[in-house]
Amino acid sequence: MNLAVDTPWLLAGLLLTVLPLFNNGLRLTAMPWLTMIPADGVSLAIALLLRLIAMSAIAGLVLGLAGLHRTEQSVERIGQGAHIVLLLDRSSSMDNTFAGLAASGKVDETKATAARRLLTAFVAQRKNDLIGVAEYSTSPLFVIPLTENRQAVQAAIAATATPALSFTHVSKGLGMALSFFQEQPLTGSRIVVLVSDGAAAIDSDDEQKLRQWFKQQQVRLYWIFLRTAGSPGIFDKPQDSRDDNAQAMPERYLHQFFSSLDTPYQAFEAESPHALANAISDINRLENLPLQYVERIPKQDLSAVCYMLATLLVTLLLGIKCVEIKR
């Protein structure tokens, strides 16, 4: 309960709350000798209550004017879930269908649309997760940091509907995805979900760095490979040994690199929206470790409550004024 006010100098008005101590608002009726009137507990209680009501009413008005609010605060919670970074491929091939064709009409769904639809559903399911979104194409795109705000994440995913860019620079994208976990407490599981439809060779310098970062941040990696019909898959072995290099088969080599990481890694090959849905539900099932996380509660304006209270109390005082005896 961290309370604060917008205009602190108005709090000087709280001094006015002592006024009811001097005058209870009732008209004074003269009496020759008060000693003649016997002590009465009920009257005493009502007199006290009257002053209290008047003081609260003034305090309510002053606090309302000063703009009382509850400051933004963070609550520590424990739930089931993970820190998830969705790393989305924004290369232009994502705008093609699974069949490798440009989307025509409403019949075929592009890979990006399918991914968007299924990830949106995935995000909606994961109630307690912190989810961040990063994208990559020619260079990595910082979209949204790890947050519990579902709406923001959904909006970030929806934003991938804009036309994609050209290249696929996966190592920089991974670097950015891993950077999301810096300055985050190590609790629950940490996941990078890489959604891509292609791969690129990673040079040895980047390889070194990624190895180190994956180890440091203890991040699990899930790679959902949206395979276009006819293109080489992750698990395919080259028929010709001359093609067995990173330039010719980047998917295979990327998979090999990921498998050689010290952290758990799983690859899903999805040739259709249905397969993609299966892959996502697998991740959903796998990642349910206890998670300690901090939920942020936004600033709450309490001035309306103050005014309500003051109105109520003033109405009460008005009622009391009506039953006052006039002599």
Residues that bind another protein (CB under 8 A): 24, 26-38, 40, 42-43, 46-47, 50, 320, 323-325, 327
Residues 6+ apart with CB under 8 A from 3: 68, 69, 70, 71, 302
**What whole-number distance in Å separates Cα of residue 111 and Cα of residue 132?**
20
Smallest gap from Cβ 45 to another protein, in A, equals: 9
Smallest gap from Cβ 19 to another protein, in A, equals: 15
Residue 159 is classified by DSSP as: G
Residues 6+ apart with CB under 8 A from 42: none
Residue with tokens 């758990």, as numbered in its chain: 264
Exposure b/e, 208-240, CB count within 10 A at least 16 = b: eebeebbeebebbbbbbbbbbeeebbbeeeeee
Q: Cβ closer to another protein: 27 or 285? A: 27
Q: Cβ closer to another protein: 107 or 318? A: 318
Angle, helices 111-125 vs 150-158, to 10°: value is 180
Smallest gap from Cβ 21 to another protein, in A, equals: 12
Q: Which contiguous run of DSSP H or E holds residue 179?
A: helix 170-179
**What whole-number distance in Å separates Cα of residue 155 and Cα of residue 322?**
57
Smallest gap from Cβ 314 to another protein, in A, equals: 16
Residue 6 is classified by DSSP as: S
Q: Cβ closer to another protein: 25 or 175? A: 25
Q: Cβ closer to another protein: 47 or 102? A: 47
Smallest gap from Cβ 15 to another protein, in A, equals: 22
Based on C-alpha coordinates, what's the Rg of the chain? 32
CB count, 10 Å around CB of 150? 15
Residue 166 is classified by DSSP as: S
With contact defined as beta carbons under 8 Å apart, do 306 and 64 qualify?
yes
CB count, 10 Å around CB of 143? 22
Q: Cβ closer to another protein: 26 or 99? A: 26
Q: Cβ closer to another protein: 75 or 325? A: 325
Q: Cβ closer to another protein: 9 or 33? A: 33
Smallest gap from Cβ 25 to another protein, in A, equals: 9
Smallest gap from Cβ 36 to another protein, in A, equals: 6
Smallest gap from Cβ 56 to another protein, in A, equals: 17
Q: Cβ closer to another protein: 75 or 322? A: 322
